[in-house]
Amino acid sequence: MTVALASISLVVALIALALARRQARKLEQLTEMYWQLRYDHGELKSAVTPEAPAPPPPISGFVPLGSLKRPKP
């Protein structure tokens, strides 16, 4: 009886080990696919989103204050 119980336990343990390994491989594949998708999404997002045009350079010049004052009526 104990030999049969030990044999059944060994078979169940081997089946559980095989299932755990299969699940580990699937998890590894899904993780790799997830990171590849994130990378591809970032690449596509940077390709689609146009960069904002650079602002024009500030106009640097001298403006005399006399030209800004209004003449008195």
Is 20 a residue whose pLDDT tops 90?
yes
Report the alpha-carbon distance of residue 31 to residue 18 in Å, rounded.
20
- What would the pLDDT profile of 24-66 be if each residue is shown by its tens digit? 999 999 999 999 999 999 999 888 867 778 888 877 777 777 7
pLDDT on residue 68? 74
pTM over 0.75: no
Query: Cα–chain-centroid distance for residue 16?
Result: 34
